[in-house]
Amino acid sequence: MTTPTLPGSLVPTQDERTMATLAHALQLIGGWIAPLVIFLIRRESRFVSFHALQVLLLQILNVIAILIFVVGWFGLIFSTIFLHAGSKPGNPPLAVFLVFPLFWLFIVGTNVTVLVCAIVYAVKANRGEWAEYPVLGRFARRLLKMGPGGTSV
């Protein structure tokens, strides 16, 4: 099955497709470090830099979301400690038990989302497609100053 290419789009070489695939797949092992290395060493390739930058943006968003939830989790813990510091010792507050499953589901959900994105977009990159993450793809194209399909803006 052939993929439709836009007029004036750049057709990636096999080496570029492999490096873009690695950028997506290695995020599962190396987090943001492996795509950053690929982005820096293959900066001259528009295809590889586009895919690696999308992965970097996804990893940055993932880290920020987890940090916000961790700060919220510790805020909840410390606020309940300070609120119940003067009361008699007993059972832990109910809020901790209600929020912990939500926190756990959020962490699992973000990890599953990253896993699915890594697999789906690694396959697309291996096929030579200029596939974009839903929101991050447009932002990556804007940062790299390129149009759809790798064309110059």
**Is the pTM for the entire model greater than 0.75?**
yes
Backbone angles phi, psi at 6, to 5 degrees: -80, 150
Amino acid identity of residue 98, one-letter, is L
Distances (CA, A) of 9 to 12, 53, 126: 9, 18, 17
- The CA R_g of the chain, rounded to the nearest whole Å, is 21
- In the three-class reduction of DSSP (H, G, I as helix; E, B as strand; rest coil), residue 146 is classed as strand
pLDDT tens string 77-135: 888 778 777 667 666 667 677 778 888 898 899 999 999 999 999 999 999 999 999 88
* CA atoms 21, 62, 100, 78: torsion sign: positive
pLDDT tens string 51-81: 999 999 999 999 999 899 889 888 888 887 7
